Amino acid sequence: MVKAIAHRGFSSRYPENTLLAFERALDLGADGAEFDVQLSRDGVPVVIHDESLLRTAGDERLVKDLTLEELQRLDVSYRFAGSIPAQRIPTLEEYFTLVRERAFLSILEFKTAIFEYDGIEQTVIDMIRRFGLGDRIVLSSFNHYTLLRCKAIAPELPCGILYECRIAEPQDYCRRLNMQYLHPDYRFLSDAELAKYEQAGVKTSPWTVDQDADIRYLIKQPNIFAIMSNKPDRVLALRAEA
C-alpha cells in the first residue's frame, strides 16, 4: 500500500515543520512525515526548511547564524499567524521524542544543498540510533554527497535521492550509488519513467503531490513507495477509494 506522507507535517492546515503540524499528521493517521534538518550556530539539529528565516518568521537572518536559544525565540507560524498560538522551531530531538513510540515513518531531508553543515550526518545518525528509529526512517537530500557520507557512517539506513531536474536514467544512478529510493518532483513521472524504475527494482516517493488527479494516478503505480503531500488527508481519502 502506498504510504501517505505529510510533507513538512500537515502543512496545508498548520505551520510547516512545527510540532503542531506533526502532531496533527499523527492524529490524522498519516503513515509518516517528511521534514527538513539544519544545524543551529551551536550545532543543534533543528527542523526547518529554508536556510533563511524570512518566509516563515519574517527575519532576514540565516538559521546557521543563530543559536538554538535565538532560533526558538522566533514565531514560525508565518501565514497562520494570529489564528493559532505562536509556533517555535523544533529540535530534531523534540520531533524524535514525539514519534519514537509510534509506527510512523520519518523521511528526513538534510538541508545541505547550499550550506554543508560540517558533521551534520554523524550528529543526526547518532541521534537516530539513540532513539532506536533506524527501522522507521529514510534519509534524503538534494546533496548526494551527504547521502554518500550517510552510507559510509550507517550503511544499514535507507536513503532516497532527491532531485528536481530531469536526470538521465535516475534508476541507474540510484543503484550505482547504492541508494534505495528515488525522491523526484512528481511532474517528471510518466508511465515510461516509472516502468524503468520498477524494472530496476527502485522504489519511488515523489513530492509534493497535492492535486487529486495526480494522487489517483500515483496510487495505482506498482513501484510508488510513498506520496509526499501537503494534503495527507487527500492521499488517505483517495487511497481508501482506490
49 labelled catalytic? yes
Given 3, 8, 49, 151, which residue is catalytic? 49
Cell numbers for 36, please give them: 527538513
Distance of alpha carbon 195 from alpha carbon 29, whole angstroms: 30
Alpha-carbon dihedral of residues 91, 226, 115, 146, nearest 10 degrees?
100
Annotated catalytic residue 7: yes
Those residues with Cβ within 8 angstroms of residue 47's Cβ, 6 or more apart along the chain or in another chain: 17, 35, 36, 37, 89, 90, 91, 92, 94, 95
Of 24, 20, 51, 42, which is closest to residue 143 (Cα–Cα)? Answer: 51
Residue 177, all three cell numbers: 550509488
Write down the number of H helices and E strands in the chain. Answer: 10, 9
Q: Which of 2, 3, 6, 7 is catalytic?
A: 7
What residues are annotated to the active site?
A: 7, 49
